Amino acid sequence: MEIAVCFKIVPDYEDVIPKDWEDMENIDFTFVKKIFGCYDEAALEAALQMKDALQKAGKSVHLTAVTAGEGVSRLFTALYGAGFDEVVHISDEKIEFCPEETAKRLGQYLQPKKPDLILTGRMTGAGDSGMVPVCLAAGMGYEWITDVTDVSYNVENDRLEVWNQDTQNEICRVLDFPTVCSIGDGKHPYLRLVPLKAQMEARKKKPTKYDYEEEKEYNSSLVRYKECKQATICHMIESEDIKESAVWLMNVISEEVR
Amino acid sequence: MRVNIVFPADVGKSDYIGIWERFMGLFAPFSKKEASMEVRTLYLTETGDLPCEVSAEGQVDCIGIQKDLSSGTLSKYLSGYLVEHPAELCIFAPTMEGKILARLCAAANKWEYYGEVVEFAEDEMQIIRKVYSTHKDAIFRIDAGRNVIVPTAGGEKQECNFSAQNVVVNYEKWPEEKEEQGRILKKIPKPAADDISKAKLVFIGGRGLKKKENYVRLKELAKKCGAFCGCTRPVALSGWEDYSNVVGISGNSLTATVCVTFGVSGSAPFLYGMENVGRLIAINTDPDAPVFAAAQDGMIEDCIQMMEEMEKVMFGEN
Chain A touched by B40 (CB under 8 Å): no
Mutate: best of A227, A228, A233, partner B, most B CBs <10 A: A228
Chain A touched by B261 (CB under 8 Å): no
- Amino acid B142: pLDDT: 86
- Amino acid B193: pLDDT: 46
Arithmetic mean of pLDDT, B100-124: 90
Whole-model pTM: value is: 0.85
The better pLDDT of the pair B6, A170 is held by: B6
pLDDT(B183) > 50 = yes
pLDDT(B6) > 80 = yes
When pLDDT is cut at 50, 70 and 90, the band that residue B201 belongs to is: very high
- Amino acid B215: pLDDT: 96
Helix A99-110 and helix A132-140, axial crossing angle in degrees, nearest 10: 40
What's the complex ipTM? 0.88
Chain B touched by A101 (CB under 8 Å): no
- Amino acid B202: pLDDT: 95
Residues B226-271 have pLDDT tens digits of 999 999 988 988 889 887 888 987 778 888 899 999 999 988 888 8
Give the closest of A13, A130, A236 to B298, CB-based. Answer: A236
- Using a CB-CB cut-off of 8 Å, the residues of chain B touching A18 are 265, 288-290
- Amino acid B178: pLDDT: 65
Contact A21 B136 (CB under 8 A): yes
| Proportion of chain A above pLDDT 90, given as a percent | 57
pLDDT(A217) > 70 = no
Distance CA A178, CA A141 (A): 9
| Closest alpha carbon within chain A to B297 | A235
Arithmetic mean of pLDDT, B55-63: 79
* A131 to B49, B104, B113, B253: CA distances (angstroms): 32, 9, 8, 21
Mutate: best of B13, B100, B114, B244, partner A, most A CBs <10 A: B100
Helix A242-257 and helix B212-225, axial crossing angle in degrees, nearest 10: 50
**Mean of per-residue pLDDT scores for chain B:** 86
Residues A231-254 have pLDDT tens digits of 567 899 988 889 999 999 999 998
pLDDT(B317) > 70 = no
pLDDT(B167) > 80 = no
DSSP characters over chain A: -EEEEEE-EEE-GGGS-GGGGG-SS----TTSPEEE-HHHHHHHHHHHHHHHHHHHTT---EEEEEEES---HHHHHHHHHHT-SEEEEE-S----S-HHHHHHHHHHHHGGG--SEEEEES-SSTT----HHHHHHHHHT-EEEEEEEEEEEETTTTEEEEEEE-SSEEEEEEEPSSEEEEESS-SS-SPPP--HHHHHHHTT--PEEE---S-------EEEEEPPP-SS--EE---SSHHHHHHHHHHHHHHHH-
- Using a CB-CB cut-off of 8 Å, the residues of chain A touching B133 are 126-127
Chain A touched by B190 (CB under 8 Å): yes
Residues A90-121 have pLDDT tens digits of 977 777 888 998 999 999 999 999 999 999 99
Distance CA B111, CA A104 (A): 15
Residues A180-216 have pLDDT tens digits of 999 987 888 889 989 999 999 999 999 999 988 766 6
